[in-house]
Structure 1
Amino acid sequence: MRQSSLRPTAWPRSPRYPYVSGVLLVLLAAAEVLHSRISSTTVLATLPFVVLPLLWRRREPRIGCLVVPAALLNFLFRPELLMTVAVAGVMGLYTLARHRVLHPALLSAAAITGSVLVNLGHVATGVYDLGGRAPAVGADGSLSYFTESFVLAVGVVATVGVADATRSREESRQAREAAQRELIAMERRHAAAQERAAIARELHDIVAHSVSVIAVQAESATYTTPDLSPPARDGFQQIASSARSALTELRRLLSVLRADEAGAEEAAPVVPQPTLDSLGALLEAHRSGGGEVILHTAGTRPAALPPSLELTVYRIVQEALTNARRHAPGAAVDVRLTYEEDEVRLRITDDGPGPGPGAGPRGPQHSSGGHGLSGMRERASLLGGRLTCGAAGPGGGFLIEAELPVRAVAKSFAEGVYE
């Protein structure tokens, strides 16, 4: 059982609460009937309508419209108010107000009117013992006959007020939770958009470098290749022109995606992006900061991996090391890189405390959800792969596993999917 369910304030919200409290009320009614030896037919006939409907009060709140009149009617025939009837009447009234079956003012007015009618019934039936004399309304001290109405009215107003305040507080809590969920969703969407923009910039650099090489080679071929026919020379010039146009479009697209420089028209710089050969420097930088990391490789690295796949592997390792430094300082990190024929597998573990129960991906400080892991999933998904993360085991630690297909990435890259 979760710790939050043990709190007293959480128990009334439990689905079992109406049934448990209703059964207890039925047992109390049976005990009172037996102890007081009640034989009145009207009292015994109205008592089930006071108690039993409360078992279904949460599923059908309008059932309080039966409970409250039945409780007043029972009180009319038995002025010695039963505790069961008093409790059931308050519960029925609370249910009506809590679920706004009627407007609080209208509900209070109706309940108070019913209380006054019951009080008048007690006066008319001679409930008040005045030494054999009939009570006379208007005589000295006759206002005391209506003390009963006053007490009931105070109870009605208090019950309706508490129920309405509880409803308002619950609505405010739900509104806050909805706003918090929406804020978290907006932050995640914003983080995903930023990550996509970063991926677009990096892929731009990769593709732009290749396209610029194509443009230079096609341009220089017209001068370095002897005995070219005029059609061939024109073909090389068209290739070079198309490559330069593609490069311009790539840079224009990047200027639109740059989240940190919206509206900027300057072209993005073409810089080399990290590859698998850069992993050594990345791991060494982590060690220089006091971290401990070991890289294990298995399998034979293909001669030509797609640059986007190498970049994704580098970024996943980079983010994993950043998370380890931030959330598990001093933890040893183990990186296993496996090359297979169809895919590259990456498994990263640390021996830190791991994610706590009910917390975010790396403990309580991430209860709102970190965006680094979302970015890694975005990168893996864009390449047709998948990434999972979570507790490394019952002893603690954090685990990140990624499977990145090689052939799908190479095919997509060759067909120009990454624009």
Structure 2
Amino acid sequence: MAALPRYPYVSGALPAALAAAEVLHAHVTSTTVLATLPVAVLPLLWRQRQPRVGLLVVPAALLNFLFRPELLLAVAVAGVMGLYTLARHRVLRPAVLSAAAITGSFLVNVGHVAMGVYDLDGRAPAVGADGSLSYFTETFVLAVGVVATVGVADAFRSREESRQAREAAQRELIAMERRHAAAAERAAIARELHDVVAHSVSVIAVQAESATYTTPDLSPAARDGFQQIAVSARSALSELRRLLSVLRTDGTGAEGTAPVAPQPTLDSLEDLLRAHRKAGGTVHLHTRGTRPTTLGPTLELTTYRIIQEALTNARRHARGATVDILLTYAQDEVRIRVADDGPGPDRPQHATTGHGLSGMRERANLLGGRLSCGSAGPEGGFLVEAGLPVRTDTGPLAKGVDE
């Protein structure tokens, strides 16, 4: 469980309050003790954000103990907390930290012996005489405390790392299961499209193609109409096959090695207009400005798709209408204006709220642009306007936008 945000400040303030109480109660007047006490206690307030403050706390606690052998409880608590912080955050390796702390404890013990803390009846202790090892009991006690504190802190750290590793593995497993479920769903959709839609479209293409040979007394216009139906059906079948290859891809390209047709660009507009005219529509393209050479493929693809959807909308809801396309290349924006002279207020409601135009809005928004559509005016007609900002870093998004 993560520590509460205020926990370091509350727990760090307790040794400070304890130190103040001990100083007042014991009437501590030593300048050295009073100088090292704040250094050993106050940095603990920031130990969560700056674990290295333990490198200041522990030496200060040892110095305070050196000059005041009657170890203050606040100093003992501060030393343990500083040592725990260093070990918990692995500021130093556990072995290095333990060796350094034990060495410091031994030096403090030696200092106490040299200062005569253990003098017996005015006699200095004779190091090396019988029983002299007892003078270093404090080193042993402090060493045990150091090893225990570092061991507990390192154990908590190891447990936290294990928990994080388990959670990361669990998240990865859940993500993998979701990817597999999505891939299975995509495969199911691909099968449905292949078994139902692709078969129906292929039947339309074959019947339209064969009608020109099996139906007698066809007029030239009717023959061309059947041929156009066959061409459109074959084109739709090719797009459907490309879509199937995308659906069968698991997102990593595992099954996405099937070749796909290149994405259309602004150079493909003439073919799009030619196909619209063959279907019986009238369209005029006007351009303003100079087409920049730095247009990214995503912007060109989005421009193409907006015009394509506007022409499709005109064929569906304003058959026979004349469509005027104005493509303006500004310095920082490509503007698209597609207007027809078909019905305006009488246009079907789904002409302005269908999935096609919603998809065009999403494409424009993805590039940071805008798209609006609606009646061109009281005299009739339908208008689609879009503005797409010119950027040079949209290339890598081209595939993802179209798919």
- Residue identity opposite 2:124 in structure 1: A
> What is the CA distance between 1:249 and its match in structure 2?
8.0
Q: Aligned residue for 2:36?
A: 46
Equivalent of 2:200 in 198, 209, 214: 209
SS in 2 for 1:66: helix
Change (3 A) 1:152 1:382: farther
Q: Aligned residue for 1:413?
A: none
Matched, 1:173 2:163: yes
Matched, 1:18 2:29: no
Deviations 1:305-347 (A, max 9, x none): xxxxxxxxxxxxxxxxxxxxxxxxxxxxxxxxxxx9449x9xx
Give ranges in structure 2 of 5+ residues lacking alignment.
Answer: 256-347, 363-373, 375-400
Q: Distance in 2 between the 1:169 and 1:78 partners?
A: 37
Correspondence list, 1:343-362, <5 A: none
Q: Distance in 2 between the 1:39 and 1:105 partners?
A: 37
> What is the CA distance between 1:79 and its match in structure 2?
0.8
Q: What is the number of residues matched between the two proteins?
A: 267
Matched, 1:224 2:215: yes
Change (3 A) 1:143 1:341: same
Q: Aligned residue for 1:68?
A: 58
State whether residues 49 and 70 of structure 1, in contact with CA within 8 Å, keep that contact through their aligned partners in structure 2.
yes
TM-score, with structure 1 as normaliser: 0.55
State whether residues 197 and 258 of structure 1, in contact with CA within 8 Å, keep that contact through their aligned partners in structure 2.
yes
Matched, 1:107 2:97: yes
Q: Aligned residue for 1:125?
A: 115
Q: Distance in 2 between the 1:118 and 1:148 partners?
A: 9
Q: Distance in 1 between the 2:106 and 2:7 partners?
A: 32
Matched, 1:88 2:78: yes
Matched, 1:184 2:174: yes
State whether residues 219 and 240 of structure 1, in contact with CA within 8 Å, keep that contact through their aligned partners in structure 2.
no
State whether residues 222 and 236 of structure 1, in contact with CA within 8 Å, keep that contact through their aligned partners in structure 2.
no
Deviations 1:269-301 (A, max 9, x none): xxxxxxxxxxxxxxxxxxxxxxxxxxxxxxxxx
Deviations 1:331-376 (A, max 9, x none): xxxxxxxxx9449x9xxxxxxxxxxxxxxxxxxxxxxxxxxxxxxx
- Residue identity opposite 1:91 in structure 2: M
> What is the CA distance between 1:243 and its match in structure 2?
4.3
Q: Aligned residue for 1:154?
A: 144
Which protein is bigger by CA-based radius of gyration?
A: 2
Q: Distance in 1 between the 2:33 and 2:17 partners?
A: 16
Change (3 A) 1:248 1:21: closer
State whether residues 215 and 239 of structure 1, in contact with CA within 8 Å, keep that contact through their aligned partners in structure 2.
no
> What is the CA distance between 1:173 and its match in structure 2?
1.4
Change (3 A) 1:418 1:59: closer
State whether residues 208 and 229 of structure 2, in contact with CA within 8 Å, keep that contact through their aligned partners in structure 1.
no
- Residue identity opposite 1:181 in structure 2: R
State whether residues 201 and 237 of structure 2, in contact with CA within 8 Å, keep that contact through their aligned partners in structure 1.
no
SS in 1 for 2:152: helix
> What is the CA distance between 1:45 and its match in structure 2?
1.1
- Residue identity opposite 2:110 in structure 1: L
Q: Aligned residue for 1:34?
A: 24
> What is the CA distance between 1:126 and its match in structure 2?
1.0
State whether residues 97 and 164 of structure 1, in contact with CA within 8 Å, keep that contact through their aligned partners in structure 2.
yes
State whether residues 44 and 53 of structure 2, in contact with CA within 8 Å, keep that contact through their aligned partners in structure 1.
yes
Deviations 1:166-207 (A, max 9, x none): 111111111222222222222223323333333333344235
Change (3 A) 1:249 1:41: closer
Correspondence list, 1:259-338, <5 A: none
- Residue identity opposite 2:127 in structure 1: V
Matched, 1:56 2:46: yes
> What is the CA distance between 1:103 and its match in structure 2?
1.3
Change (3 A) 1:418 1:196: farther
The list of structure 1 runs, each at least 4 consecutive aligned residues, that deviate by more than 6 angstroms after superposition, is 381-385
State whether residues 25 and 84 of structure 1, in contact with CA within 8 Å, keep that contact through their aligned partners in structure 2.
yes
State whether residues 201 and 233 of structure 2, in contact with CA within 8 Å, keep that contact through their aligned partners in structure 1.
no
> What is the CA distance between 1:227 and its match in structure 2?
4.6
Q: Aligned residue for 1:312?
A: none
- Residue identity opposite 2:200 in structure 1: H
Query: Quick check: 99-108 or 251-260, which moved more?
Result: 251-260
Deviations 1:217-269 (A, max 9, x none): 4313432241555x975885686487468658856974885589x98xxxxxx
Give ranges in structure 1 of 5+ residues lacking alignment.
Answer: 1-8, 264-339, 346-380, 386-406, 408-416
> What is the CA distance between 1:84 and its match in structure 2?
0.5
Deviations 1:74-119 (A, max 9, x none): 0011111111001100011111111111111111111101000000
Q: Distance in 2 between the 1:225 and 1:418 partners?
A: 43
Q: Distance in 2 between the 1:85 and 1:186 partners?
A: 52
- Residue identity opposite 1:226 in structure 2: D
Q: Distance in 2 between the 1:55 and 1:30 partners?
A: 16
Q: Aligned residue for 2:303?
A: none
Q: Aligned residue for 2:189?
A: 199
Q: Aligned residue for 2:133?
A: 143
Q: Aligned residue for 2:305?
A: none
> What is the CA distance between 1:30 and its match in structure 2?
1.0
Q: Distance in 1 between the 2:218 and 2:124 partners?
A: 134
Q: Aligned residue for 2:88?
A: 98
TM-score, with structure 2 as normaliser: 0.57
SS in 2 for 1:160: helix
